[in-house]
Amino acid sequence: MDGKKVSETSSTIVYQMLPEDANPAGNVHGGVIMKHVDTAAGVVAIRHARGNAVTASIDRLDFHSPVFIGDLLVVKASLNMVGRTSMEVGVRVEAENLFTGEVRHTASAYLTFVALDKNGVPAAVSPLILESEEEVRRNNEAKKRREVRLAEKVRELASKDRA
Ligand SMILES: CC(C)(COP(=O)(O)OP(=O)(O)OC[C@H]1O[C@@H](n2cnc3c(N)ncnc32)[C@H](O)[C@@H]1OP(=O)(O)O)[C@@H](O)C(=O)NCCC(=O)NCCS
């Protein structure tokens, strides 16, 4: 299988936040942002797999600052690492105040997607071609997170077996 570059699948999706996106306090609901994070990451994974890919886990989602109605939500997603069938996507969310141009870093997340074949079985994906030092750094960090993730899964399965 031919390799694919990070730049071939990186995606930026923008949404203007509208009153229907508000929480009871009048700011943007965190769940709305989570949905857009999952969507943007899914676009990257499906572009890399050129087939179906599902969210297997979100192992970290940090909110750094609130988003307000009227802000432009800018969701940037790119592939950090691929395994055999899994792909870790990093997402950075920014909010732009359209009146002032001020841009705030709002949230960051790491999501793992798994490519599935037509029968819903995990399917191998193309290797990832790393071109920049930044991509190599992200790839190394993602490999460490994968080790932690897999170790947690093994621990969880073992504790279920004991229960
Ligand atoms: C994700 C899913 C396909 C994994 O199935 P599985 O039988 O555990 O698959 P396998 O054990 O063969 O593992 C396949 C890959 O998924 C990875 N994986 C499995 N569970 C994972 C998890 N919780 N987090 C991260 N990666 C995971 C494995 O590490 C493996 O990666 P690799 O091929 O790169 O080494 C399955 O759990 C599933 O279908 N979940 C529901 C997904 C869904 O519907 N998401 C939408 C949200 S509602």
- Residue 102: the pLDDT is 98
How close is the Cα of 2 to the center of ligand 1, in Å?
Answer: 23
How close is the Cα of 44 to the center of ligand 1, in Å?
Answer: 17
Q: Is 25 left (phi over 0), alpha (psi -120 to 50) or beta?
A: alpha
Number of domains in the chain: 1
Label the pairing between strands 11-16 and 72-82. Answer: antiparallel
- Residue 128: the pLDDT is 98
- Residue 60: the pLDDT is 81
How close is the Cα of 115 to the center of ligand 1, in Å?
Answer: 9
Ligand 1 atom closest to 83 (CA): 34
Kindly report the CATH number assigned to the domain that includes residue 31: 3.10.129.10
Q: Tell me the two tokens of residue 97.
A: 């105040």
Label the pairing between strands 72-82 and 86-96. Answer: antiparallel
- Residue 153: the pLDDT is 87
Pocket of ligand 1 (CB under 6 A): 54-57, 83-86, 112, 114, 122, 149-150, 153
34 is in which domain, residue-wise?
4-162
Q: What is the distance between the alpha carbons of residues 113 and 125, in angstroms, rounded to a whole number?
A: 11
Which residues, 6 or more positions from 103, have their beta carbon under 8 angstroms from its beta carbon? 74, 94, 95, 96, 97
Give mean pLDDT in consecutive 10-residue pieces for the chain, a chain of 163 residues.
96 98 96 98 98 94 95 98 98 98 97 98 98 98 95 90 81
What residue ranges in 8-147 does DSSP mark as E strands? 11-16, 53-63, 72-82, 86-96, 103-115, 128-129
